[in-house]
Structure 1
Amino acid sequence: MSLLYNIGIHLTHFGLECVSPFNSKIRKGNIGRSNTFDILKNKLTKNDKTLWFHCASLGEYEQGLPVFKALRQHYANHKIVLSFFSPSGYEIRKHTPIADVVVYLPLDTKKNAKLFLDIVNPELTVFVKYDIWPNFLKQLKERKLRAILISAAFRKNQSFFKFYGKQLREALFAFEHIFTQNESSKQLLESINYKNVTVSGDTRFDRVYSQLEQDNTLNFISEFKQDKLCVVAGSTWPEGEDLFINYINSNSLNDVKFIIAPHNIKSAQITNLKNKLNVKTVLFSEKESVNITDAKVFIIDTIGILTKIYNYADIAYVGGALGNSGLHNTLEPAVFGVPIIIGNNHSKFPEAQALIDNHGMFSISNQKEFDEILIELIKNQSKRLETGKNNSVYIEKNKGAVIQILNYLRI
């Protein structure tokens, strides 16, 4: 592996250590990675047969979950190791029943890669989407251990496809097969002479479609919504919340209710959001002690229930694309057949453009555009129902990636 890459990894480690006293998220990651090998040694023996699933963060975990569930069922006698790089994935899913052992992935040094695989020695490794770690992958290849990459999405400006990306390109060849989300990713892989590739689509479609088979009832949301039209704003950031604050404070439609589920649920931000609203607003954390039926706005200051809340939406807004944080999951509300509003910074999310082209999603860049489309969707029931239906049909047509992956694995 490239000397510069390895030097860079060690410099990254040094930088993370320096920053960790001032950043709680980085500090959690550093502490978690320092405990990884002890956890693995305590929970695995040399006689255990294992599988290894790796995800960058929570989004990739949800993306891979349909495949993980199928492999968990098929390999019932294996121990499954699930690794995350980001605390946002590890902290939320560290007790998932999908895995026997959940750990932070150590930094991608040669030493860490060798020690990790000495302990885990997986019969099959599954990476999700884009988290490519060259030293770990090189070790998998040298040990002739099976590895696949699922729901991969590549762009031509990535290092793999540049003249200086030779060493990183080689890491991709550790995968015996790569399942891509789209044809353009397949073509990019073929341009570097990687041939074992299948366009299977995105496993997220299977993941969100399975939500329809679950019980999505939340009695307190039913109590809040009653028979009113409901707008759900999911995974919001301040720039998106400002749009809602201005709209709600300027409009007095009594037959519309709003649910806002911020991405950041720190108490200071939640309090600030609530205080800016000039209508009756209740928090999830106080729902047992107040009357929520006559509230106009319900702020969800907890995590883990947003997907079910989308089931109650007549219109949805998904945050992230007005700023630089990245668009959050638009497929979760789409599966429930509701129209969706997003910001305009969505170029890295092909499913967003597909939903826009399919006339189920609307991209806005300012308050005026937001107000116009929201008012139209509120007042025009036929457009609201038609555009929402376009989204549910789109999800239905694009599921099926999991079947292709399992067929390849002969499961």
Structure 2
Amino acid sequence: MIYLLYDILLWVALAGIIPYHLYRSASRGRRAAFAERFGSLPRESVAAMEGKEIVWVHAVSVGETMAAKPLLKALRQRFPEKKIVLSSVTETGRSIGEKLPEVDLCIYLPFDYRFAVRRVLQALRPSLVVIVETEIWPNFLRTAAEMGIPTVMVNGRISDRSFGRYMKLSWFFRPVLAKFTALCMQTGEDARRIIAIGADPARVHVTKNLKYDLPSSLLSPEQRSLLKKEFLIPGTLPVLTAGSTHAGEEEMVLAAYRAILAAGHDCLLVLVPRHPERAGQVGDLLQKEGIPFSLRSRLVSRGTDFRAGETLVVDTVGELMSIYSISDLVFVGGSLVPTGGHNVLEPAALGVPVVFGPHMSNFREIAAMILESGGGIQVQDGGELTSVLNDLMADDGQRATMGRQGVALMEENRGATDRHMEIIAALLTSSH
């Protein structure tokens, strides 16, 4: 009955889904890929996978793809004979995935219509489907179960905001969660919540957070100098990066930047909007503020190095970790506006001190741990952001201490990949 209700709602929603994706694709200058989203994979892609054992990993967007990187590496090392297919929902997530050497094929996740899901599953016939974080697609899970394909949720979490909504619909989600072969949750609280919603306790495991297994690769002075040169940044010019920013945050960052420069601290601001298509909007803001800037995509034609007081706007995909690695201080966006925050462990893993705002509901555990470790500072508003960034840019010693504490936090909490791989390996072995 619940699936009939769900299917009716899906077909009603189709009238909105198609225009939404057309608009989204046109506004971002990308193809809509409707054939793929309705289950028709390119013929050459299917042919390349024919006769191969496949592990299908689904990571909805950029954050989930980055979180899956340690797991993808472990899968490749443990099962080199298997092909890895990575699916995403967003264009940016797919762009990141296509650059990962462990991935053999990138596809869009089909819309959750039975015919579309079945068409893709029949074409690929994966030995296992790995779903990163809490992506619950009823028809996908139902069809995989009917075809005898095990599915495992990895790095699962239930945010404070979503828990109440899930509980109100637990009558719907209980039979859907039963289709998962295993559910690997980040914390004991996440495990408790997924069980309360309706998951079978015997299938729920606490495997910690894959994001702590990001590589802590600190650059040597020579490597740092070479990478800064690639971005036309002089080796001695300090870099302040605002990463994964959303609308409404750039204004606060620019106010802080002006204050830092006014205090006599030379530095370069690097702005990395969460959605690259917003680069034009960010550029308009900088122009209005009278701040000279260059787009990352046009650095080849710039010719001269950046100077203090200018701004680099990153309008490309997949370079955030490189930018973080040459930064002296990082503000992680999505946290001064109520979007739930972004992953503050990415700069911390690289030994860079991190500042973030109050809205971290999607990363509550990580935020608490990085604050406790001393690797990051939380601010409440734009005024406090200005004060904290100004103080840190003036204090090399405090920045270095915070960077070391962030790396130590990562080292202390590693091991999630191994815990996940134990469960994944057992499922792959039993599927033969």
What TM-score do the two structures reach when normalised by structure 1? 0.88
Report the CA distance shift for 1:343/1:29 in structure 2 as closer, same or farther (over 3 A). Answer: farther
1:176 deviates by 2.1
* Cross-structure match for 2:52: 48
Which moved further from structure 2: 35-44 or 170-179?
A: 35-44
Contact 2:186–2:206 (Cα < 8 Å) also in 1: yes
Deviation string 1:351-380 (CA, Å, 9 cap, x unpaired) is: 123222333222223332111111221223
* Cross-structure match for 2:271: 260
Report the CA distance shift for 1:41/1:249 in structure 2 as closer, same or farther (over 3 A). Answer: closer
Give SS of 2:202's match: coil
Give SS of 1:119's match: helix
Letter in 1 for 2:379: I
Asked if residue 337 in structure 1 is aligned to residue 348 in structure 2, the reply is: no
Give SS of 1:23's match: helix
Report the CA distance shift for 1:23/1:117 in structure 2 as closer, same or farther (over 3 A). Answer: closer
1:130 deviates by 0.9
Structure 2: stretches of 5+ with no match in the other structure: 427-432
* Cross-structure match for 1:380: 395
Report the CA distance shift for 1:141/1:132 in structure 2 as closer, same or farther (over 3 A). Answer: same
Asked if residue 298 in structure 1 is aligned to residue 311 in structure 2, the reply is: yes
Give SS of 1:201's match: coil
Contact 2:342–2:360 (Cα < 8 Å) also in 1: no
Give SS of 1:249's match: helix
1:293 deviates by 4.5
Which moved further from structure 2: 382-391 or 399-408?
A: 382-391
Asked if residue 315 in structure 1 is aligned to residue 315 in structure 2, the reply is: no
* Cross-structure match for 2:209: 202
1:225 deviates by 4.0
Correspondence 1:215-364 to 2 at 5 A: 217-220=226-229, 224-250=233-259, 251-252=261-262, 253-266=264-277, 268-278=280-290, 280-284=292-296, 285-286=298-299, 288-299=301-312, 300-350=314-364, 351-364=366-379
Q: Alignment partner for residue 165 of structure 1, among 164, 170, 174?
A: 170
Letter in 1 for 2:116: N
* Cross-structure match for 1:401: 416
Write the distance in 1 (CA, Å) between the matches of 2:75 and 2:310.
Answer: 42
Write the distance in 2 (CA, Å) between the matches of 1:289 and 1:384.
Answer: 31
Which moved further from structure 2: 78-87 or 94-103?
A: 94-103
* Cross-structure match for 2:429: none
* Cross-structure match for 2:430: none
Structure 1: stretches of 5+ with no match in the other structure: none
Which moved further from structure 2: 241-250 or 196-205?
A: 241-250
Contact 2:268–2:306 (Cα < 8 Å) also in 1: no
Report the CA distance shift for 1:168/1:274 in structure 2 as closer, same or farther (over 3 A). Answer: same
Q: Alignment partner for residue 61 of structure 1, among 54, 65, 68?
A: 65
Write the distance in 2 (CA, Å) between the matches of 1:163 and 1:172.
Answer: 15
Give SS of 2:404's match: helix
Correspondence 1:146-161 to 2 at 5 A: 146-155=150-159, 157-158=162-163, 161=166
Write the distance in 2 (CA, Å) between the matches of 1:286 and 1:46.
Answer: 42
1:23 deviates by 3.0
1:152 deviates by 0.4
Contact 1:221–1:309 (Cα < 8 Å) also in 2: no
Which moved further from structure 2: 74-83 or 217-226?
A: 217-226
Q: Alignment partner for residue 183 of structure 1, among 181, 184, 188?
A: 188
Give SS of 1:2's match: helix
1:335 deviates by 0.9
Contact 1:29–1:87 (Cα < 8 Å) also in 2: no
1:320 deviates by 1.2
Deviation string 1:215-234 (CA, Å, 9 cap, x unpaired) is: 77514268524224321211
1:160 deviates by 8.1
Write the distance in 2 (CA, Å) between the matches of 1:293 and 1:34.
Answer: 42
Give SS of 2:40's match: helix
Asked if residue 139 in structure 1 is aligned to residue 143 in structure 2, the reply is: yes
Report the CA distance shift for 1:213/1:40 in structure 2 as closer, same or farther (over 3 A). Answer: farther
* Cross-structure match for 1:6: 7
Pairs aligned (count): 410
Give SS of 1:66's match: helix
Write the distance in 2 (CA, Å) between the matches of 1:213 and 1:72.
Answer: 25
1:123 deviates by 0.9
Deviation string 1:100-136 (CA, Å, 9 cap, x unpaired) is: 3321111112222322222222111111001111111
Which moved further from structure 2: 142-151 or 128-137?
A: 142-151
Give SS of 1:51's match: strand
Letter in 1 for 2:309: K
Contact 1:84–1:104 (Cα < 8 Å) also in 2: yes
Contact 1:282–1:292 (Cα < 8 Å) also in 2: no
Contact 1:318–1:329 (Cα < 8 Å) also in 2: yes
* Cross-structure match for 1:365: 380
Letter in 1 for 2:215: Y
Which moved further from structure 2: 169-178 or 278-287?
A: 278-287
Report the CA distance shift for 1:51/1:142 in structure 2 as closer, same or farther (over 3 A). Answer: same
Contact 2:219–2:325 (Cα < 8 Å) also in 1: no
